[in-house]
Amino acid sequence: MKLFDLSGRKPLEAASPVPFAEWKETRQGTAISLAPDVEVEELRSHLGSLTLIVLEFPVFRDGRAFTQARSLREYEGYEGEIRASGHLLPDQAIHFRRCGFDSVVLPDGANVKDWEDQLGRYQFYYQNTAVSPV
């Protein structure tokens, strides 16, 4: 598994994430993964014990995790790492970063340069977001 650092905020977590439903039973470890149909409010009382939340993209067109990430940052005040995993495109790199993601699990055979190029593509954006106020 190869990670790509989007935000450069801090070193990326090495821990293996556990699906949230499973984690709730055992509360072992500090890394979870979350399906896109889970409302992030369910995590509220657990956020203090988490250092990595992996948000899943079953297909790149399914944009629910963008709203999950932004809710974690804006509403829940979560400060730990948010990571995107699943079917991802480099074309989404800026969207990930601007919604509060720190990292992505690079798909097999990904061209890292595409991801890097995309991050530097635009000089400004038209709107405020969780991590990039205009």
111 binds other proteins (CB under 8 A): yes
29 CB burial (10 A radius; 0-12, 13-18, 19+): middle
CB of 83 to other proteins, least distance (A): 16
| CA–CA separation, 62 and 68 (whole Å) | 12
Largest CA distance in the chain: 45
Footprint on residues 74-103 left by other proteins (CB under 8 A): 74-75, 89, 91-92, 94-96, 98-99
* Count of alpha carbons within 13 angstroms of residue 70, beta-carbon side: 15
Residue whose CB is less far from other proteins, 30 or 118: 118
- Give the pairing type, strands 103-106 and 81-86: parallel
Residue whose CB is less far from other proteins, 11 or 109: 109
Footprint on residues 50-69 left by other proteins (CB under 8 A): 60-64, 66-68
Task: Convert residues 3-32 into a mask of x (bound to other proteins by CB under 8 A) and - (unbound).
Answer: ------------------------------
What radius of gyration do the chain's Cα atoms show? Answer: 14
Total number of residues binding other proteins (CB under 8 A)? Answer: 35
